[in-house]
Amino acid sequence: MKRKVEIKRKTTETDIKLALGVDGKGKASISTGIAFFDHMLTLFSKHGYFDLSVKAKGDLAVDMHHTVEDVGIVLGQAFRKALGACKGIKRYGASCLTMDESIAKATIDIGGRPNLVFNVPKKAIGEKDFDIKLTKAFLKAFCDNAKVTLHINLPYGEDIHHINEVIFKSFARALSNACEVSKRAKGVPSTKGKI
């Protein structure tokens, strides 16, 4: 099963080209014009074992929000398309990771119902103005377009860089677990027979 997809999306605010290999080795080629976001997507690729290429041009003179949100939209669409009918996948995934003083828990359900629960305290502006609200906007756009439920919980953390990084890493690991094909599973992982 080759779960690979390429998607292009162009609006008056952004122009995005994305290639995804779900069953990859964590190879990344990321260029969004936002250095910190590039770093987050690169580690998402690495720790989720996804091969990911993103080339995005956005109206950064306005702000970073359009670019970050639209990349979330396209990445969500890519996963939805790559997983198809979701036959044989584990569907659920969870990960609890730490980075120095911060810890994050991610739990995901590839069940066809988009929802984001983001239990993360509001933090001050972080790396070059990349704050936690941008991370939330990215994850919300991803969930809406991948049609997944994602819960992110941050029990504690101080450094905004570490907080963002551990969220992206735990999200990557949980998603990787959920996308994994089970040797025991037959068909679609739902009593409804469809996701």
Range 179-191 average pLDDT: 80
Range 150-166 average pLDDT: 95
Residue 187: per-residue pLDDT: 77
Residue 192: per-residue pLDDT: 78
Q: Is the pLDDT of residue 22 over 80?
A: yes
Distance of CA 33 to the CA centre of its chain: 18
Q: Is the pLDDT of residue 128 over 80?
A: no
Q: Is the pLDDT of residue 4 over 80?
A: yes
Place of tokens 């919300």: 140
Angle of helix 132-146 versus helix 65-83 axis, rounded to 10: 30
Residue 19: per-residue pLDDT: 98
Range 56-78 average pLDDT: 97
Q: State residue 12 phi and psi, 5-degree precision.
A: -70, -15
Q: Which CATH class is domain 4-179?
A: alpha beta
Which two three-digit tokens encode residue 129?
A: 């103005």
Spans of all domains in the chain:
4-179
Q: What is the dihedral of CA 184, 188, 189, 190, to 10 degrees?
A: -140
Residue 142: per-residue pLDDT: 98
Distance of CA 94 to the CA centre of its chain: 13
Whole-model pTM? 0.94
Residue 46: per-residue pLDDT: 98
Burial class (CB in 10 A: 0-12, 13-18, 19+), 25: exposed
Q: Do residues 79 and 146 make contact, with C-beta atoms less than 8 angstroms apart?
A: yes
The overall average pLDDT reported for the chain is: 94
